[in-house]
């Protein structure tokens, strides 16, 4: 049932009222761990429901649920440690120019966070996903706008989170849930919403981003919108292992029926004999992949229309043609090839090939020389990932390996060498974000530093210790990592 404006208001106000119950870090961490336990306990029921709504398959969904639970526990560990608070204490120093007063700085939660669920990850980027886990870890209640492709699952996961909250004396309103397009718009405009996290399309994300900026009091909007995830294959790498690169590319671009946000959508491959062998390997591997089901019929229709429009462009060939499967629900994977110089002209008729086509399709641009490849890279928008495949000698420092790495760095938040972008590890050093339009901010939605999105710094000057939060007192009663008079203390 779609939420009315009143329903959105009630959910946001209930979340706002629950802020105080998240103040204790020990309670927050325990809540996150209990949420993971409850989701694991309901695994069979939740996976069955998720598969019924998304057709992603029990194996994929079971793994995704495990990732979601691991993520919740990871943020619990981060909350326990306390380093994310970024505590810095400076005692007065009259000898400095200008003199330094007593200053104590740390980070505090922003307030209620609006979370917009993604279609392609019904667990990991949905009600209990990374935005929710990191926001709760920061001490921020959430109101989630459920994705219409898995409404029943959204309700069940929210119920588990609320039950986990109740076990620790936290009001169930700490996790709100609303349904409907208009509810999503009302949510980002609500005056008590302090920030938002979104994963979805460029069109939808940009509309919400603009609404967040147009509020009387603008709020941070951390949106993941779209990405080509370019791959560069050097001529030496293709000559050395064309078959392996082709097979690896096929596996990455068709994984999850091409519905991963880091699917490689544009591949720069050499035009010569080594590139021909790569294309042959890719053709063989993609042709062996079965047709699969996209998340809904709207996405299927958009994919088929996008494939047709791209394949009809001059100079574009389809060694393996993507298209409809054997029934009305499935699609077949494929790929297109095009001379790289066709993409070199800004505003030309091949501009469409530089836009993401959501589903199991990639474009292989064949470049004649390094200058042509470099020119094409210079035309690309921001991405979540960028990949380069190098030969053994190039990886050891010979040739243009370092130069290509430097060319890819401005394009993406994660740069890979001799790997494939599908698969985003939940790890402290992970960065899942990139220049616009990949994301609307410079932050990450995966990994420990995702918590930083929902915090703001505050400094106290000259405040008596008796009035300070315990994290900022000299004796550090909570044992929080900090920088104390210039010295990093663990």
405 in Cβ contact with 249 (< 8 Å) = no
List the structure tokens of 208.
């919400």
Among 261, 357, 372, 407, which one carries the catalytic annotation? 261
Q: Cα(141)–Cα(59) distance, rounded to whole angstroms? A: 31
If DSSP codes are grouped into helix, strand and coil, which group holds residue 94?
coil
CA distances from 48 to 32, 42, 45, 413 (A): 23, 10, 5, 34
The separation between CA 113 and the C-alpha centre of its own chain, rounded to angstroms, equals 16
Active site residue 355: no
- β-bridge partners, 292: 331
- Separation CA 136–CA 71 (nearest Å): 12
HSE-CB at 247 with a 13 A cutoff on CA atoms is 4
Active site residue 357: no
Q: Which of 224, 372, 407, 471 is catalytic?
A: 224
Q: How many whole angstroms separate alpha carbon 234 and alpha carbon 367?
A: 10
The residues assigned a catalytic role are 224, 261
């Amino acid at each position: 049932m779609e939420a009315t404006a009143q329903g959105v208001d009630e959910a946001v106000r209930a979340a706002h009222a629950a802020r105080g119950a998240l103040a204790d870090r020990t309670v927050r961490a325990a809540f996150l761990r209990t949420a993971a336990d409850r989701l694991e306990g309901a695994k069979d029921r939740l996976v069955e429901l998720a598969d019924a709504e998304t057709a992603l398959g029990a194996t994929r969904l079971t793994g995704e649920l495990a990732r979601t639970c691991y993520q919740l526990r990871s943020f619990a560990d981060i909350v326990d440690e306390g380093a994310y608070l970024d505590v810095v204490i400076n005692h007065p120093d009259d000898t400095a120019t200008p003199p330094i007063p007593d200053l104590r700085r740390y980070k505090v939660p922003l307030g209620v966070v609006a979370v917009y669920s993604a279609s392609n990850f019904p667990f990991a980027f949905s009600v209990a996903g990374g935005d929710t886990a990191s926001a709760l870890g920061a001490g921020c209640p959430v109101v989630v706008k459920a994705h219409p492709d898995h409404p029943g699952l959204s309700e069940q996961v929210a119920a588990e989170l609320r039950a986990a909250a109740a076990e620790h004396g936290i009001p169930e309103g700490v996790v709100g849930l609303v349904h409907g397009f208009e509810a999503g718009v009302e949510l980002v405009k609500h005056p008590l919403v302090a920030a938002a996290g979104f994963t979805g399309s460029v069109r939808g994300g940009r509309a919400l981003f603009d609404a967040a900026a147009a509020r009387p009091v603008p709020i941070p909007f951390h949106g993941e919108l779209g990405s080509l995830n370019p791959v560069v294959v050097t001529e030496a790498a293709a000559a050395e292992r064309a078959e392996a690169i082709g097979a690896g590319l096929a596996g990455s671009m068709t994984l999850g029926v091409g519905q991963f946000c880091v699917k490689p959508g544009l591949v720069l491959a050499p035009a010569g004999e080594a590139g021909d062998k790569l294309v042959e390997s890719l053709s063989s591997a993609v042709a062996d992949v079965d047709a699969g089901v996209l998340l809904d019929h709207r996405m299927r229709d958009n994919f088929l229309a996008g494939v047709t429009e791209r394949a009809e462009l001059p100079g574009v060939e389809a060694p393996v043609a993507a298209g409809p499967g054997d029934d009305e629900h499935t699609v077949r994977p494929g790929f297109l090839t095009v001379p790289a110089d066709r993409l070199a002209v800004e505003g030309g008729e091949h501009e469409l090939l530089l836009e993401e086509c959501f589903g199991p399709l990639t474009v292989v641009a064949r470049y004649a020389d390094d200058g042509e490849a470099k020119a094409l890279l210079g035309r690309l928008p921001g991405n979540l990932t960028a990949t380069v495949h190098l030969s053994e000698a190039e990886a050891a420092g010979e040739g243009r390996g370092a130069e290509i790495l430097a060319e890819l760095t401005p394009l993406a938040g994660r740069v890979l060498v001799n790997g494939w972008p599908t698969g985003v590890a939940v790890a402290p050093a992970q960065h899942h974000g990139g220049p616009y339009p990949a994301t609307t901010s410079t932050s990450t939605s995966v990994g420990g530093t995702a918590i930083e999105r929902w915090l703001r710094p505050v400094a106290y000057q000259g405040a008596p210790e008796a009035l300070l939060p315990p994290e900022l007192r000299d004796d550090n009663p909570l044992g929080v990592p900090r920088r104390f008079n210039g010295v990093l203390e663990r």
